[in-house]
Structure 1
Amino acid sequence: MSDGILDEAYERLHRTGPEYEGWLSNHGPMAVEALARHGHERQVHRWLDDYLGRLDELPRGLRPIDDWRAALGDAKRTGDWLTYFDQHLREQPWRDVLGTWWPRLLPGIAAGATHGVIRVGHAVRALHLHGANPPRLTELGQALGYWAARWQQVTGADRLLAPAPSVTDADHDAPDVVAALAGLPRIDDRTGGIRERLGRLVGVPRWEPALAALRPARTPTEAERGLHTLVHHAGLDYLRFGHAEPVMLVHAVTAPTAVLRTLPALDRALWAPSLAAAWAATAAVTSVYAPSDAVAPPSVTDATPEEVFARAARHGDAHVVKLADAVLDAHAATGDRRLLDAAGYAVQLI
Structure 2
Amino acid sequence: MTDTDGRDTDGGTDTSGTLDEALQRLHTHGPERLGRLTNHAPMAVEALVHRGQARTVHRWLDRYRHKLEDMPAPHSPVTATTWREALGDTARITDWARFFERETQERPWRDVLAEWWPRLLPGIAGGSTHPVIRTGHAVRTLLTTEETAPRRAELAHALGYWAARSQPLPELTALAPAPSAAAALDAVPPVPRQDGGMRDRLPQLTAFPSWGATADPDTARTQLTELVTAATHRYATHGHGEPIMLVHAATAPNAVLRALPALPRELWPASLAAAWAASAAVTAAYTPREVRSHRATTLTAEEVFELAAAHGDDHTIKFADTALDIGDPKALAAALRATELNPPVFPSKAWPNGTV
Q: TM-score, normalised by structure 1?
A: 0.90
Deviation at 1:179, TM superposition (A): 2.7
CA contact (8 A) 1:106 1:277 kept: yes
1:268 pairs, out of 265, 277, 281, with 265
1:244 to 2:241 alignment = yes
Residue aligning to 1:169? none
In structure 1, C-alpha distance between the alignment counterparts of 2:101 and 2:315, rounded to whole Å: 27
Aligned residues: 325
Residue aligning to 1:47? 60
In structure 2, C-alpha distance between the alignment counterparts of 1:289 and 1:75, rounded to whole Å: 25
Deviation at 1:300, TM superposition (A): 4.8
CA pair 123-175 structure 1, distance change in 2 beyond 3 A:
farther
CA contact (8 A) 2:178 2:184 kept: no
Could you list the per-position Cα deviations for residues 181-201 of structure 1 after superposition, in whole angstroms to 9, with x for gaps in the alignment? 221101121110000001111
CA contact (8 A) 2:240 2:288 kept: no
Residue aligning to 1:347? 339
Deviation at 1:22, TM superposition (A): 1.6
Deviation at 1:53, TM superposition (A): 2.1
CA contact (8 A) 1:300 1:344 kept: no
1:177 to 2:181 alignment = yes
In structure 2, C-alpha distance between the alignment counterparts of 1:228 and 1:175, rounded to whole Å: 15
In structure 2, C-alpha distance between the alignment counterparts of 1:95 and 1:322, rounded to whole Å: 24
Q: Which runs of 5+ in 2 are unaligned?
A: 1-12, 343-356
Deviation at 1:2, TM superposition (A): 1.1
Classify the secondary structure of the residue corresponding to 1:281.
Answer: helix
Deviation at 1:176, TM superposition (A): 3.2
Q: Which runs of 5+ in 1 are unaligned?
A: 160-172
CA contact (8 A) 1:25 1:112 kept: yes
In structure 2, C-alpha distance between the alignment counterparts of 1:317 and 1:179, rounded to whole Å: 30
Tell me which amino acid in the other structure corresponds to 1:29: P
1:192 to 2:205 alignment = no
Residue aligning to 2:97? 82
Classify the secondary structure of the residue corresponding to 2:291.
Answer: coil
CA contact (8 A) 2:235 2:246 kept: yes
Tell me which amino acid in the other structure corresponds to 1:248: M
CA contact (8 A) 1:108 1:151 kept: yes
1:327 pairs, out of 323, 337, 345, with 323
Classify the secondary structure of the residue corresponding to 1:112.
Answer: helix
Residue aligning to 2:279? 282
Residue aligning to 1:306? 302
In structure 2, C-alpha distance between the alignment counterparts of 1:11 and 1:50, rounded to whole Å: 17
Please identify which structure carries the higher helix content.
1
In structure 2, C-alpha distance between the alignment counterparts of 1:111 and 1:175, rounded to whole Å: 28
In structure 1, C-alpha distance between the alignment counterparts of 2:145 and 2:237, rounded to whole Å: 37
In structure 2, C-alpha distance between the alignment counterparts of 1:327 and 1:123, rounded to whole Å: 18
Deviation at 1:131, TM superposition (A): 2.8
- What percentage of aligned pairs have identical amino acids? 51
Q: Structure 1: which 4+ aligned runs deviate by more than 6 Å?
A: none
Tell me which amino acid in the other structure corresponds to 2:152: L
In structure 1, C-alpha distance between the alignment counterparts of 2:149 and 2:246, rounded to whole Å: 33
RMSD value, Cα: 1.7
Tell me which amino acid in the other structure corresponds to 1:267: P
Deviation at 1:156, TM superposition (A): 3.1
Classify the secondary structure of the residue corresponding to 2:78.
Answer: coil
1:16 pairs, out of 8, 29, 52, with 29
Alignment of 1:138-177 (within 5 A): 138-156=153-171, 176-177=180-181
Classify the secondary structure of the residue corresponding to 1:196.
Answer: helix
